[in-house]
Chain A
Amino acid sequence: MPPTTVSEKPVVPLPTIIRVFFWIGFFSFGGGLTAWIHSQVVQRYHWMEEEDFMSGVALAQVLPGANVTNLCVYVGYRLRGYLGATATLVSLISGPTVLCVLVAMAYHRVSEYPVLQACVDGVAAAAVGLNLRLGIIGGKRVIRRIAPTVAMIATFLAVGVFEWPLVPVVLVVAPLSVAAVWPRKEADA
């Protein structure tokens, strides 16, 4: 018996997944990858819902491994199962693997130019802007309810401002945050 699927969305073709994630990886300078994945997967192609994606972001950060590859695996698995997860991971990291070695080979020639350094710094700053925007999108949904708002601010203060270690913070905040939105009656699911 086939499993009951929640979403009735059409199956996302693998070549599209590979193409999208390859380009994300290829141009992912400076760490705006999560925001970039969001802009393609949620905003452009509507493959996933906002909350589905953001809870994936939380899982990806808590689990060991690079946040962005974890997120890829999560998204890929959600879209096309094991094949999808393999496709997103391999297509995301294959471009950068080759590119970073090429950059390393050319490094001694290019490192003398301040223009290139400025490019790198500028791209990194813009990438932070992408993440900031993603935070704002998520935040707009979160502030509709009190408990999630508190959880969001607490996480930000603890990890961002006080620089407490991420894992213990999440282990404390997550159960409280989930308990606060736990369904009161089983019937109204």
Chain B
Amino acid sequence: MREDSALTTYLALMAVFVPFSLVSIGGGPSVFAPMQREAVDVRNWMSAREFIEIFAIARVAPGPGSMLATLIGWKVSGWGGALVATAAIFVPSSLLCLGVSNVWNRYRGRSWHKALETGLAPIGTGLMFAGVLAIFRLAGAGPLAWGTAIVVAGLLTWRPKMHPFALLLLGAVAFNVALLAGR
């Protein structure tokens, strides 16, 4: 890959990720499978094993799951590739969202806009609950994970001003205690 000029590589990254950005309806994970096909089978950027590693890293590292693209870009051509891939996966969908937000805001205050908002809000809420269930299904979570989530939700209900970071730290501590106890 090194013999390619950087520009060719960047263009290839854009050619892969810009379309993915615009079709990833429902969020980044919806295009992870086609991303794998493209990176491993079509473009031969990495082996299947390397892809799985990158996937794990994207889950461990902060940021949206779509940072998978960032890591593919990095693997292909270092920091430059990482930046190009990041822009390619996030900018097109963000522009689209900006357009929709613009239209959405223009009509704020109208009674039908209020109705749209009132009608859409419960769907957002329903999706939050569905997301909780989906994450746990994906991770094959046990009672420890459920317990941690419920305790965190409970603590936040009791003390709404608690900093989210303290609660995330609590989760890490709980799992490490369980790890030690399990030995």
Contacts and interface: CB of A to CB of B under 8 A. Distances in A.
Chain A interface helix/strand/loop/mixed: helix
Interface centre among A32, A111, A114, A126 (most CB of B within 10 A): A126
A135 B171 CA distance: 19
A166 B86 CA distance: 25
B132 interface: yes
B131 to A, nearest CB: 6
A104 B71 contact: yes
A149 B124 CA distance: 12
Contact of A59 (B26, B86, B94, B100): B100
A26 interface: yes
B60 interface: yes
Interface centre among B94, B133, B153, B174 (most CB of A within 10 A): B94
A74 to B, nearest CB: 5
A189 B110 contact: yes
A108 B151 CA distance: 33
Contacts of B167: 126, 129-130
Contacts of B60: 29, 103, 120
Contacts of B145: 121, 124-125, 128
Interface residues of A, number: 108
Nearest to B110: A189
B41 interface: no
Interface residues of B, number: 100
A174 interface: yes
Given A85-B94, A104-B54, A99 B63 contact: yes
B170 interface: yes
A104 B79 CA distance: 12
A180 B158 CA distance: 33
Contact of A66 (B90, B125, B179): B90
Interface in B13-40: 21-28
A55 B132 contact: no
Interface centre among A43, A66, A134 (most CB of B within 10 A): A66
B94 A70 contact: yes
Contact of A139 (B125, B146, B150, B172): B125
A34 to B, nearest CB: 7
List of 3 A-B pairs having minimum Cβ-Cβ separation, nearest first = A65-B93, A96-B63, A129-B152
Interface of A: 4, 6, 25-36, 39, 43-44, 50-52, 54-70, 73-74, 77-78, 82, 85, 89, 93, 95-97, 99-101, 103-104, 107, 111, 114-115, 118-136, 138-139, 141-142, 148-149, 151-156, 159-161, 163, 165-167, 170, 173-174, 177-183, 186, 188-189
